[in-house]
Structure 1
Amino acid sequence: MTFERHDADDELWRAVQLLGRHARRIRSGNCSFTPEDWVTWVTTGRLPPVARLRP
C-alpha cells in the first residue's frame, strides 16, 4: 500500500503515517523500517542506526 500526501493537514498526515505500526516492514524512499523504528521516526524524528534501514 502506498500513501502520498496531497494537501492533507499535519494531523491527518501523522495519523496516516502511524498506520505503519500495523505493517511488517515500511519502505520510505530507499529505507526499510521495522514498525517500531517507523513509529519512533514519525513521533520523534529520530532515525534508527543506518544498518537497520537497509532493505
Structure 2
Amino acid sequence: MVLEKIKSEYIFGDKSQVHRRLQALQLAYQADEMMILTNTPDYVSRKTSYQLIAQTCLT
C-alpha cells in the first residue's frame, strides 16, 4: 500500500513516459512553471537527472 502511494507521487520511466506525465500534470493544474526535485544519492547523479529532464522537456 505504501509503495503504491509512492509510485503514484513519483515520476519515473523513459524519456517519453516522463514527458507525458509532466505534460499531464501541467495540463491538469494549468501550471506556468514546475518545480522538480530529484531524489538521488549524490551531486553527479542529481545533475545528470536534471539534464535528462531538461532534454525531455525541451524536445
What TM-score range do you get, normalising by the shorter chain? 0.3 to 0.5
TM-score (norm 1): 0.36
Q: Which structure features the higher share of helix residues?
A: 2
Q: Which structure features the higher share of strand residues?
A: 1
TM-score (norm 2): 0.34
Structure number, greater radius of gyration? 2
Query: Quick one: higher RCO (CA 8 Å, sep 6+), 1 or 2?
Result: 2
